[in-house]
Amino acid sequence: MMHDELPYVPLDVVAYLEAIYTPDFFLEADSENNDERMGYMKGATEVIDVLRSLAERND
């Protein structure tokens, strides 16, 4: 279900996620192989990018 209104995303949330999900976080994460690790890293980066885009639209 799609909504017409974009959600409000505070920049603080984006900054918090960026502070947690650093490259070091993923390097130290328990994963079975590097492909899995890279998948998690790319997925987190994409989510953070979308949230940043929404946050910047709200300002």
What is the C-alpha to C-alpha distance for residues 42 and 23, in angstroms, rounded to an integer?
Answer: 10
How many separate domains does the chain show? 1
**Tens place of pLDDT for every residue, the chain, 59 residues?**
566 788 899 999 999 999 999 999 988 888 888 899 999 999 999 999 999 999 998 76
Domain membership of residue 44 (yes or no) is: yes
Residue 6 inside a domain? The answer is: no
Does some domain include residue 45? Answer: yes
52 located within any domain: yes
Which residue range forms the structural domain that includes residue 44?
A: 11-58
- Predicted local confidence at residue 6, as pLDDT: 85
Rounded Cα distance between 56 and 10, Å, is 9
Give the distance from CA 21 to its chain's centroid: 8
Kindly state whether residue 2 falls inside one of the protein's structural domains: no
